[in-house]
């Protein structure tokens, strides 16, 4: 069922982001997908641009948890927690992401809603 | 500040939906706005079509609460709880809505992510 396939892609996305695994993240995207993160900035278009974008997050230890997911037609909006351990502190943010999907439940577009002021320091060093 | 104006519009929207006040809801929209609710269905375009859409919800007692709001550029994604008392039961749903805004923080587009399977019966009659 399409809804279950979409839900599985969303869960796999959150897991792969939490595992800081850019290749696993990239495999969930359709070749001509777009990524707008955060919303309001220029979108990254296509696998190469998306790969470069996610590669920037490699090297940090992250944890992630899918908190809420709403699937509507062939679209999903979901809230998740991502914890990032930087050299000087551990920070946490709970973005809301919106995705569209193709027939194989691959991501055709992603939009991430968050702002730097949403970050919360959970552990100073 | 634009972010605070957007946040105020989101809160006013959730409050007006909870109060089952279609006029108050409508006043938050720009004249040429679009409403896609749920996402994946045809959008309602313009004040008259949007007014007709919200008028359908009049007559039920609702409660509402804004749970999470992420503002990104001139856009917002937010999760809220809406409780609706129907003749035979009380139901609850927590959609995720996405909105864009004009310079006056009026809503230019709304997309509501939810599915009938997300409804939860909180009080049978």
The residue from B13, B29, B54, B97 that is catalytic is B13
Band of pLDDT at residue B118, cut at 50, 70 and 90: very high
Is the model's pLDDT at A58 over the cut of 80? no
What is the Cα gyration radius of chain A?
A: 14
Per-residue pLDDT, B121: 92
Q: Is-catalytic flag, B60?
A: no
Size of interface A-B (CB pairs under 8 A): 76
pLDDT in the model for residue A59: 64
Confidence class for position B87, pLDDT limits 50, 70, 90 = confident
What is the structure's pLDDT at B68?
A: 96
Indicate the residue of A77, A79, A95 with minimum beta-carbon distance to B98: A77
Taking residues B79-86, what's their average pLDDT?
A: 92
Q: Which of residues A59 and A15 earns the better pLDDT score?
A: A15
Query: What confidence category does residue B14 fall into, taking pLDDT thresholds of 50, 70 and 90?
Result: very high
Identify the pLDDT of residue B59. 65
**Right CATH for B2-124 from 3.50.50.60, 3.10.20.30, 1.20.120.550, 3.10.450.50:** 3.10.450.50
Question: Can you tell me the distance from the alpha carbon of B74 to that of B96, in angstroms, rounded to the nearest whole number?
Answer: 17
User: Taking 80 as the threshold, does the pLDDT of residue B74 lie above it?
Assistant: yes
- The domain segmentation of chain A, as residue ranges, is 2-124
Task: Read off the tokens for A23.
Answer: 């290749």
Backbone angles phi, psi at A18, to 5 degrees: -65, -30
Q: Nearest CB to A72: which of B39, B72, B77?
A: B39
With cut-offs at 50, 70 and 90, classify the pLDDT of residue B58.
Answer: low
- What are the DSSP calls for A9-76, one per residue? HHHHHHHHHHTT-HHHHHTTEEEEEEEESSBTBPPEESHHHHHHHHHTTTTSEEEEEEEEEEEETTEE
DSSP B73: T
Residues from chain B contacting residue A6 (CB–CB below 8 Å): none
- The pLDDT tens digits of the residues spanning B21-52 come to 899 999 999 999 999 999 999 999 999 999 99
B93 in reach of chain A (CB within 8 A): no
């Amino acid at each position: 069922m399409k809804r279950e396939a979409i839900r599985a892609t969303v869960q796999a996305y959150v897991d792969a982001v939490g595992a800081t695994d850019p290749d696993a993240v990239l495999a969930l995207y359709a070749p001509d997908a777009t990524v707008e993160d955060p919303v309001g900035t220029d979108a990254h278009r296509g696998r190469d641009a998306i790969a470069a974008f996610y590669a920037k997050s490699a090297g940090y230890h992250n944890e992630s948890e899918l908190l809420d997911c709403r699937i509507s037609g062939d679209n999903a909006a979901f809230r998740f927690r991502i914890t990032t351990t930087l050299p000087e502190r551990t920070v946490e943010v709970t973005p809301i992401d919106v995705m569209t999907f193709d027939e194989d439940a691959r991501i055709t577009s992603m939009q991430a809603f968050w702002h730097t002021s949403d970050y919360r320091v959970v552990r100073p060093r």
